[in-house]
Structure formats: C-alpha cells, structure tokens
Amino acid sequence: MAEDGADGDAAAGESAGEMDYAARAAETLGFSRWWQIAAAAGMMAAVSPYQYVWSSIEQPLSQSLDIALPALGAVFSFYVVFQSLSQFPAGKWRDSRGPGALTFLAALLAGGGYIGLAYATSLWQLYLLYSLGAVGVGIVYTVAVNTAVKWFPDRTGLTTGVGTMAFAAGSALVVPYVRANATVAAYGDVLRNIGIGILVVTLVGSFLLRDPPTDWLDRAGDGDDDDGGLAASIRGRNYSTREMLSTWQFWLLYAMFIAMASADLLVIANVVRFAENFGLAALIATLSATLLPIAAGVSRLILGEATDRFDRKRVMAGSFLLAGLFRLGLVAAGEAGNGAVFVAFVLGAMFFSSPLYVFFPSLLADYYGAANSSGNYAVLYTAKVGGGVFSGTVAGYLVATLGWTPTFALGGALAVAAGLAVFVLRPPSGSGLRSTDPAAAD
C-alpha cells in the first residue's frame, strides 16, 4: 500500500508539474504552447523533401543532365554535410537572439534551392543549390527540435517526436507525386512546385515561432521541490558547449550518432536502387520510397512518447538493436526476391532507426540542460556528417567493390553496436538528472 501511495504521489507531482509548465507558457505566449509545436512541425514537413525525395529525383536528373549516378551520390553527401554543419552557428544564434530572422533566412534558402534545381544545367549547379538549400534545412531543423526542448521540458520526448515525425512523414505526401512525374520532361515543374511550397510554409512559420523568456524555466519550477523528476537537469546544471565537450558521455553519444545516422541514411538514400538491384518490381521500389518516411515519422511520435513514460535509455537500446536486426532481414528479403517481405523489413528498419533524432536531443537535454540546448545539440548533430558521407560516397565505393549485400549488412551491424553502447551511458556529474543506473553519476 505504501508503494501504491508513493506511485500516486509521483503521478500527482508529474501532473501538477505539467500543468504548471502549460500555465506558465500560456501566460507568456497568450495561447497554448502547442501552437509553437504545430508551427515547428509544419516547417519540418515543408523542408523534408531534401532528405526523403532525393532517391526519387536523382534518376531523371541524371538522365536530363547526362550525369553519372555515382557523381550524383555526392549531392546527397553535400546535403548532409551542410545540413549538419549549419546547425551549430544557427543554434548559437537562436539561443541568444531567437528564431525569427533565422527562420526567415531558412525559408529563402530552402525554398530557393529547390526552385533553382528546376533550372540547373550542370553538376556544379546541383551541388551549389542543394548545399544552399541544405543550410536552410539545417536552420529549420535545429530551430524546430529545440522549440520542443525549450517549451516542453516536461514532454520533451513526445514533442521532439512530433517535429521529427513531420520531417519524415511530411514527404510521404510528396513522394507519390514525384514518382508519378519523375520523367525528364516533367521533373522541372515538380521541383519548382515543391520549392514554392517549401518557401510559403517556412515563411509563415518564421512569423509564428518565438522563444520563452530566459527566466521562464526557473519560474516554472518555483516552490516545487519534488515534481516527479520533471526537467531535473534544468534545476541542476546547464552545461555550456565547452563543458559538455569535456565529458566522456558526449563523445560516446557522438560515436553512437555516427553509427545510427549511417545505418539510417544508407536505407533512405539507396532504397530505390537497392530494390532494383535485386530485380524487384518497380511497384516495390515505389512502395518502399513512399512508406519509408511514414514509418520513420510515426515511430518518432510513438517511441518519443515512450521515452517520456519509460526509461529513456532502455527504449533507446531496444530500438537501435531492432533497427540493426531489421536491416539484416532486409538484406535477406532482397536476396530471396520477396517483395512483400522486403517492404515490411524496410518499414521495420526505419521504424526503429529514425527515432534517433528524438532520442539524442532528449537525452542530451537530460544530461546537459536546456538553456544551451540549440547550440549543444547542433554540435552533436554534426555527427550526421559521418552518416551522410558513409551513406553517399563510402556506400558508393563499397557497393562498387563489395556489392549491395555486404554494404547493407554493415549498416545493420553499426545499428547493433550503437544499441549495445547505450548500456555504458550514465549522466555526467552535476547534470541534476535522477539516474536509475546502479552506479552513481560520474
């Protein structure tokens, strides 16, 4: 009975804490803080074609411009590099000056980049336009994810899941349109129309987003010594980027991010060509490319909420291990020529790997606080560069020398390794997080 009472007190404390944050936010904004998540999610959905539609447009671009596919593979690598590296300066700007002017610039870059692709006539123009657009995507991404971190210290997993779900699932509406018109004659109009949509939605978002006052989190926790563990790191220590870099936990997280991003992007960037390699029907390639972002998006919402309700590390470890196993199954399905199983394993592989973009910002905020979350997560997010280089340039080399099967199997092994590494993690000293680890934080 005493245990039941303790559980009830903790639940009541958590409910009270959540209500306190919601009330404080409504007082500050004049409306529900969920509108900030809606605006961030809309912007994420708008810029998602850069990552999730590329595998569907590279073929007509190759044919139209008479460029070999391996050369186009570098376009995706450039995208990942610029999308990742742009986030640190963008995050630092946003933490100190807010999201308004920054997201306006992102709208121009991301929308203009896709519109420009419709008029590109050479490879260097593709590199330039996709890279400029990638900077816009990077700005939107870091602003959107950290909007959730800043406004929802009590529901970080769920709200980062909403934003990153939109980034993945938003393009599911675009892929069928692109695949139906991905011809040399029609793709110019397709790219231009997508670019206009990106521009309009992100411009609207730039006028809606705002940040809480610097003392908002402190005021939200006033008078509450035990809120069930909500935003514990905020009541503890907020690490600067330099302080974060001095902890071993960050570097393990960085290595895990590289491994999971490599596994994740390998499927995203190559699923169409992978299906074609095994002689699977064109319908299988289209279904895989269309349903892939849906699985990625839904999983971020479901598993993001799971990390708020259950032990975050255990959810993370299980997800990464299953992501690796589904990738190995994907290879087996392709070898067997079973299209239905192939699609099912694509969905499973993406369902369990894509929440990496929910797990890492949430865990980073737990360990290092929310005050510098944009800049800190932007530093961690540069690990995606490694994933982009692996999934584009390195994968192209491995496929040419070893073949598709060993290359995709390697992606599965990387995911399994990241899942095992989760069990080594524990909070750094001074984080304020209440660890369930048997060992004390160090």
pLDDT value for 433: 52
Q: Write the DSSP symbol of residue 427.
A: P
pLDDT value for 186: 66
Q: CA-to-CA distance for 97 and 374, rounded, in angstroms?
A: 12
438 burial class (0-12, 13-18, 19+ CB within 10 angstroms)? Answer: exposed
Highest mean pLDDT among 25-29, 179-183, 241-245, 318-322: 318-322
Contact in structure between 368 and 429 (CB atoms under 8 Å): no
pLDDT value for 442: 43
pLDDT value for 320: 92
pLDDT tens-digit readout, 145-159: 777 777 777 776 677
Q: Can you state the angle between helices 248-277 and 312-336, rounded to 10 degrees?
A: 20
Distance of CA 278 to the CA centre of its chain: 29
Domain boundaries, the chain: 10-424
The pTM of the whole model exceeds 0.75: no
Quickly count: other Cβ atoms within 10 Å of residue 424's Cβ.
Answer: 10
pLDDT tens-digit readout, 168-216: 667 777 777 777 776 666 677 788 888 888 899 888 888 888 777 766 6
Residue 11, pLDDT above cutoff 50:
no
pLDDT tier for residue 356 given thresholds of 50, 70 and 90 = confident
Q: CA-to-CA distance for 279 and 275, rounded, in angstroms?
A: 7
Residue 14, pLDDT above cutoff 70:
no
pLDDT value for 308: 74
Topology of the domain covering 10-424: Growth Hormone; Chain: A; (1.20.1250)
Q: Which residue has the tokens 């997201």?
A: 103
- Look at 139-143, 309-313, 408-412 and tell me which has the smallest mean pLDDT: 309-313
pLDDT tens-digit readout, 72-94: 777 877 887 888 788 778 877 87
Highest mean pLDDT among 68-82, 153-167, 240-254: 240-254
- Considering the chain, what percentage of its residues have pLDDT values greater than 90? 8
Distance of CA 392 to the CA centre of its chain: 18
Rounded to the nearest integer, the mean pLDDT of the chain is 76
- Considering the chain, what percentage of its residues have pLDDT values greater than 70? 79
Q: CA-to-CA distance for 421 and 83, rounded, in angstroms?
A: 26
Residue 15, pLDDT above cutoff 50:
no
CA separation, residue 36 to residues 126, 147, 160, 176, 338 (Å): 33, 7, 12, 29, 44
pLDDT value for 20: 74
CA separation, residue 415 to residues 228, 260, 288 (Å): 32, 5, 20
